[in-house]
Amino acid sequence: MAKTVLSRISFKHLIVLSLMTALSACATQPTEEAARGETFDPYENTNRGIHKFNLGVDRFLFRPASKGYVKIVPDPMVTSFNHFAENLTMPGQAVDYLLQGNIKQSGNALLRFLINTTVGGAGLSDPASELNLPPVDTDFGETLHVWGVGEGAYVELPFYGPSTARDAVGVVVNLFSNPINFSPVRPVDNIGVYAEVVRRMGDRGRFSDTVDSILYESADSYAQAQTIYLQNRRFELARDDEDAYLGLYDDPYAEIGTDPVRDPYLDPYEDPYAE
């Protein structure tokens, strides 16, 4: 048992270190360009090729599967599966918050995991939110941001979609380093990965009209997806930077919101009350 776990850890960490070394080579962005909020896209031709591949995967596989999923599976069950997938990320998020120096949020992530795993039926429901422990959301890409690593070049990852060099490293690290993956009592190998695929399929089905308008109705779906991703990601990181310096008596959740099915493809700067 111990030998199997050690070999699994060694192999996965070797992959992580190799990819981090390769990606970190392009994880720097000219200071002036970053300050102006411009897009650093030196690999546009390659990215567009991957985007075309991703469009094919979406059109012929993910899109029809997600529409069938949300049509057949009752909405409360889709929400429960989303809660389950989100709950499996909590140990990893607790580690990321700890690496960011955010002890409070690290503790919140662990408490959410313990409460939702036990009282919430293995994470299928979210009693932690009812106990004033709202959802948390971080990743290793944000950890690198806190450490001062620039977002680097824009990249589109096969199957995954829009990202940056920094966040691509974060995706790989989070994928393989979640403590859940090394638990001796997990029911299925890589259960977190499978749960995340199901969660993304549910989101794709729920927000199908929005995603379709971006991918299939815009004049340049690559540029549109790039803009929306970077706007949302930069908004999230800037908001979290601001939250880190909240006053002692400020409400830390006033601007964050806790909607588990918020449309992630909307413009974060758009006026929600505009006609």
pLDDT, tens digit (0-9, with 9 covering 90-100), for 95-109: 999 999 999 999 999
Identify whether residues 45 and 125 lie together within a single domain: no
Span 152-167, pLDDT tens digits: 999 999 999 999 999 9
DSSP symbol at 188 = S
Identify whether residues 64 and 87 lie together within a single domain: no
Let me know if residue 217 belongs to a domain: yes
Identify whether residues 231 and 185 lie together within a single domain: no
Span 113-139, pLDDT tens digits: 999 999 999 999 999 999 999 999 999
Identify whether residues 93 and 127 lie together within a single domain: yes
**Residue 274: pLDDT over 80:** no
Span 169-220, pLDDT tens digits: 999 999 877 777 777 766 667 788 889 999 999 999 999 999 999 999 999 9
Let me know if residue 271 belongs to a domain: no
pLDDT of residue 20: 53
Containing domain of residue 183, as a range?
76-136+178-206
Q: Measuring CA to CA, which residue among 40, 85, 62 is closest to residue 158?
A: 62
DSSP symbol at 62 = I
- The SS3 of residue 102 is coil
Q: How many domains does the chain have?
A: 2
Identify whether residues 150 and 216 lie together within a single domain: yes
Identify whether residues 106 and 182 lie together within a single domain: yes
Residue 118 burial (CB < 10 Å; 0-12/13-18/19+)? Answer: exposed
